[in-house]
Amino acid sequence: MLITFKSPASGDVIMFEKNGKEMLTVLGKDPADPKGIFTVEQLPAAITTLKDAIAADKARQAEKADADSAEAKPGGAGVSFFQRAVPLLEILERSLKGKHPVTWGV
């Protein structure tokens, strides 16, 4: 299943349900709710929270890369949290700039 984040300020951001629910959890929303909204008033806090989570994930990835540098793995380790979060961050920022809410499940 997919979760689609929508805003008139940007194109849709589509995520697999597992990844979308992880983002909603980080942003303090109930991932069990099939529909929801980030109001314009909630966007600044959501953006700050997501930026902090992205920075923390990048730091974890850097530490892991340092620890694993002796054991190079072909093909990499897959898509990280921060790589999945950037498109969501962009839609949140564009929506704040345009004063539009961000919805999902509608």
Q: Up-side HSE of residue 5: CA atoms within 13 Å toward CB?
A: 29
d(CA 97, CA 104): 19
Give the pTM. Answer: 0.86
Distance CA 77, CA 65 (A): 10
Distance in Å from the first CA to the final CA of the chain: 14
Work out the pLDDT band at 8, boundaries 50, 70, 90: very high
Largest CA distance in the chain: 48
What CA–CA distance (Å, rounded) separates 92 from 51? Answer: 11
Number of folded domains that form the chain: 1
What pLDDT sits at residue 74? Answer: 55
Quote the domain boundaries for residue 56. 2-104
Calculate mean pLDDT across residues 23-32: 95
**What's the pLDDT tens digit per position in 58-88?**
998 888 777 666 555 555 568 899 999 999 9
